[in-house]
Amino acid sequence: MSAAGRAKKVWDSLKGLIVAVVIVLAFIGALWLYAGVWPPLVVVESNSMQHSDTRSYIGVIDTGDLVILKQVGSSSEVRPYLESYPSGYSTYSELGDVIVYRPLGSDTRTPIIHRAVCRVEYNSTGGGFDVPALRSIPADMWTVKGDARTWYDIRGTLVLYDMGFNQVEVRINFTTMLSNFAATHIAPHGGFITLGDNNRGVVDQSSIGGVCWRPVQDDWINGVARGEIPWFGLIKLYVNGQASQVPIPSNSQTNLLISLGLIIGVPIAIDITTLVLERRGVDVWGRVRQALHLPPKKEEEPEEKAVEEKPKGGKKASSSQKKGGSQQGKGSGSKKKGKR
């Protein structure tokens, strides 16, 4: 086989792998450009956002899902639950945006992916918190305990009724929050109140030992959740040994195995089918190219066979001719001796 033939054989064997790598890199690059943050995907490591304790659903953030992020320039790009109520804006089967943030701005703690409930602003004049979104929702959806029922300068507990898919009561205790600010000598500030859909109404800002006792500030936010790739984050959880530490819906594991089987099995089945049909004289890809109006595949040129060089002066003598010639020479030599 010539050098060109060997090179073509190597290229044919590596072509599929190279194309697959290029497609994966292009997909990741496109996600990065869209997200504006790295990594553009995060793995959901808990069941705090699930809408069921036993099953997972597409369109809901479940344990083991990959969530696509989108960078936000400011907090005004985040639409919390209460602000979304009048328009009905929803993501992941619930009102409002889901954000990924670093608790207390820490780079060493695992980021949290929870829904933004409302935006609160510290009222430096009165010493309480304002919740402007309360002005736009029905009066029977909320109340204030331990303080006047008003949307501004709240120092008591804000109670929200029938929140989320499970219609729970959510309590935001501003009294405790202000006490924690005073105890830690940190100046009070505003931000987002956050809650996991499946956390039974207990907000992240419930206690100083909780998920994140201070309202989430703008610079703590990694991004807003804008899509999901279901089940495939389970691979990381199994590799890291985390799968045994969190409840994983059984149908998520089944769906992951089916998806991997299709991804691996379908290309193999296509290759085998194509090979069988080609041996029967059916050019499958030729028909595909014809249907897509693509130029036909170039025929491979056969390798040139080595041609034996001809001797100068005519055809190469056969062995019998050589033998006869040598005998004739011997006979003439003996005749000459006889004449002498």
Could you report the per-residue pLDDT of 243-294, keeping only the tens digit for each?
888 889 999 999 999 999 998 888 888 888 888 887 887 777 776 767 766 6
Q: Where does residue 134 fall: left (phi above 0), alpha (psi -120 to 50 degrees), or beta otherwise?
A: alpha
Burial of 73 (0-12, 13-18, 19+ CB in 10 A): exposed
322 versus 16: the higher-pLDDT residue is 16
301 pLDDT more than 60: no
Q: What CA–CA distances, in Å, run from 184 to 101, 188, 189, 190, 204?
A: 22, 10, 13, 16, 18
Paired with 163 in beta bridges are 168
Q: Which of 131-145, 146-160, 302-316 has the lowest mean pLDDT?
A: 302-316
